[in-house]
Amino acid sequence: MKKLIKSKLFLQVIIASMVATLATAGIVGAVTTIGANIETAGTLAAGATTLTGTLAVSKGVTVGAAYGLDTVAGGILNIGTTTATTINLGSTAATVAVKGNLTFPSAYGLDSAGVLNIGTTTATTINVGRSGQVVAQLGNSTVAGTLGVTGLTTLVNASSTLASFGGGTAVAGLLFGTCAVNFGTSLGAGVATTTNCTATGVDSTYKVFLTPSNLETYVAFNSASSTGSGVIQVQVFNTSTSTPVTIASRTWAWMAIK
């Protein structure tokens, strides 16, 4: 009789142990829902975790080295898109690397409280804007190296001042070209004569410089000026006191500045 009781007791212990083990396994393998807050003064460790609601963190979040913040599948990762007024990335002693393109919405941009450096360390070429678009320089520009310009360049501003070189007189217009000069008849000894040549774009506001070439003996260049729209007036003088000179038609180079 005692052996029978002991056998039954032993069997009950075995069954109770099996039930407890299965129950524990069921709890571990099942999904756990926590309806209250979790607070810990230490470290909360978790494996792969899926959060379907809002995660509010009142202090810093630290991510291990070589790990990061990403989306489950391809899509948009939003950071600070609702209530944040300032988003700080990195520190003054750290490098923030952007691996792909960086896009700003219209009317926003990249700024700094002091000096804004772009491509100052390893960049070999810095491209700003694209072909067919206007790149607006709203303030002064300082070039410490060489400025190379490819293609036609027009420099203008609201006051129509083209450029000032080395603190000199401001230049509002610069034109140059060639024109045909023909004085026609024979030029008598000691006589000056004047003719006009065509110079597109020139008017009386320009200072005109003319380069005479292949002048005949005794013939001296006297002056050139712009007296009307598209015209340069040219004067030469026969320095001989006795010999008249016939001046052939020539093509002379000119430059006009205002």
Query: For the segment 147-203, what is each residue's pLDDT rounded down to a tens digit?
Result: 777 777 766 555 555 677 777 788 888 899 999 999 887 899 999 999 999 999 999
Q: Residue 198: inside a domain, yes or no?
A: yes
Q: Using an 8 Å Cβ cutoff, are 179 and 197 in contact?
A: yes
Number of domains in the chain: 1
Average pLDDT over residues 102-126: 82
| Strand-pair category, 245-246 with 186-187 | antiparallel
For residues 185-216, b (16+ Cβ closer than 10 Å) or e, as one string?
eebeeeeebebebebeebbeebebebebeeee
- The CA angle 236-185-200, to the nearest 5 degrees, is 60
Q: Residue 32: inside a domain, yes or no?
A: no
Q: Residue 186: inside a domain, yes or no?
A: yes
Q: Residue 185: inside a domain, yes or no?
A: yes
Q: Residue 242: inside a domain, yes or no?
A: yes
Distance CA 225, CA 210 (A): 9
Q: Residue 121: inside a domain, yes or no?
A: no
Distance CA 52, CA 86 (A): 26
The pLDDT of residue 4 is above 50: no
Distance CA 224, CA 202 (A): 12
User: What's the Rg (C-alpha) of the chain?
Assistant: 44
pLDDT of residue 20: 55
Q: Which residue has the higher pLDDT, 14 or 229?
A: 229
Q: Which residues contact 192 (CB under 8 A, 6 or more apart)?
A: 222, 235, 236, 237, 238
Q: Residue 179: inside a domain, yes or no?
A: yes
SS3 243: coil
Q: What is the enclosing helix (H) or strand (E) of 8?
A: helix 2-29
Q: Residue 61: inside a domain, yes or no?
A: no
| Strand-pair category, 250-257 with 174-181 | antiparallel
Q: Using an 8 Å Cβ cutoff, are 175 and 258 in contact?
A: no
The pLDDT of residue 91 is above 70: yes
Average pLDDT over residues 133-137: 81
The boundaries of the domain holding residue 244 are 174-257
Neighbour tally for 222: CB within 10 Å: 13
